[in-house]
A and B are shown apart, each in its own frame.
Chain A
Amino acid sequence: MSSEKTTAAVNNEAFSAYDRKVHRWGRISMFLALITMYFPVVGVCLRYGVSIEWASVGAGVLTVLAAFGMNQIIEPFTFAPMLGAGGTYIGFTTGNVSQTKIPCVTSCQEIMGVEMGTKEGDVVATLAVGTCSLVTTLEVALGVAFVHIIYPILTSPVLEPGFNNVLPAVMGAMLVQRIMWNWKVGVVPFVLGCIAALIFGQAWFSSYGIWIMLVLIAITVVWARYLFQKGVIK
């Protein structure tokens, strides 16, 4: 009884009623999304009498996890402080976090004048990620419906180079946003990353991408802490 009380007290201290609601709905909806994502497989197997070759599935999944598993373990921990709990639940249910969700969140927080990680920042992040997910889902659905109209536009020789390079344009813009947030902090990971890529090469940089990101985060946070203690940033 007393341990139950203690746990409840700790929860109350850390979480508001809103936070508790976010986690409850987040877990329920994420679980539902995970289950229903297998409906196409189950439906096809039941209707057409297909038996699953589990050995092939296992081999394929292991290969995919070897390539992408570490990212999937580290990314939620990296992005959760920026997206807030609500934004993280939606973001990691719908995916494409760094390409579409993060740019929306940072821009909206900047325009609204709220800080990342605050109560206001979390509200803005949840609205931004939610809107982004709806727009993306709708747009891809329109792509499915009007594939014959959209295909020639997206693959035209004039426009294709532009559409293929949306992500670098987004990233370049975000880099400036971050550097202008505080150039003494923002410039450090970029310069260090460029030096590492130039010395060790692109192949090495992409092979160890997730580890390099962790090292850059650690260096930047330690550097920001040093500047904070010196009173350079407040």
Chain B
Amino acid sequence: MNYLDVANSGFMFILCLIPVGVIVLQAVRFMMMAWKQGIEIGMDKNKLKKCITTSATISVIPALSLVSLMIAMSPNMGKFFPWLRLSNIGAGGYEPMAAGIGLEAAGFTEYSACTLGGFVVIMLVMNFGMSLAPVNCLLTLKGYDKALKKAKKTSRFLLIGTSAAFAAVVARLNVPYFTDFSKLLPFVAAVTGAVFMFICIKLKNRYPVIGDFALSIAIVAGVIVCCLVA
């Protein structure tokens, strides 16, 4: 039996739907708890609603890159397993690479030669390979969060330190776009995103709606300018 017939079957869809259902329930449950907590600590209901709509707006375009990745993976992995992988503990750049490693580990050089047994090996390599972060969270997050919360009670600097650490993370992720001169388009996209964000932040006091959609505006501008330059 061709493994792709199994990978694209209704049976596989149901098997993938169950874990996707779990993460949907998790997100909904956490959002309900956060909403209730927000009201309890005196946050404005309309502001909480705005937070949800803003997040939804911002998520649409970056998620498109995951859709194109899913489409790129589907000829070799079927439609449903990439959907699961990109929804559950997935990482854009990781998945195709892990699938390739799994293929080689199963003893194949091309997907066209892969068997159902090989497909099982690929799925397991992708799943196990990405399980370390959630297992790490299960084991350490509670203790780590407790230590952070205690420290925050005694030191105002911890909040500043968190923002400073985050600035370093963002800087590290940006450096390749601004220093790799062999790749023009990522540089153009990063500069455009940065310029439009700067403009939006400057205009947000006069036009608050621009501030609300600043990131979406910057992303769309980056995408359009890349299309024009290319």
Contacts and interface: CB of A to CB of B under 8 A. Distances in A.
A179 B167 CA distance: 8
A125 to B, nearest CB: 8
A114 to B, nearest CB: 8
DSSP class of B's interface residues: helix, strand, loop or mixed?
A: helix
B59 interface: yes
B67 to A, nearest CB: 4
Given A34-B131, A104-B58, A233-B160, A95 B63 contact: no
B60 A11 contact: no
Interface residues of A, number: 160
A35 to B, nearest CB: 9
B219 interface: yes
Contacts of A198: 179
Contacts of B201: 176-177, 180
Contact of A221 (B1, B62, B152, B165): B165
A229 to B, nearest CB: 9
Interface string A108-124: 10111001111110111
B203 interface: no
A41 B123 contact: yes
Interface string B14-26: 0110111011111
B205 interface: no
Interface string B66-109: 11101100100001110110111111101001100110111100
Given A18-B37, A93-B88, A123-B41, 11 more contacts: A32-B26, A44-B119, A53-B106, A104-B54, A144-B70, A147-B71, A166-B64, A172-B189, A173-B194, A174-B174, A176-B201
Question: What 5 A-B pairs are tightest by C-beta distance, nearest first?
Answer: A169-B222, A60-B105, A64-B129, A172-B193, A172-B190
22 contacts: A30-B134, A33-B23, A47-B11, A63-B101, A72-B133, A76-B141, A94-B27, A95-B86, A95-B88, A108-B55, A117-B158, A126-B34, A127-B48, A130-B30, A136-B59, A154-B71, A167-B92, A168-B222, A169-B222, A175-B190, A176-B198, A177-B201
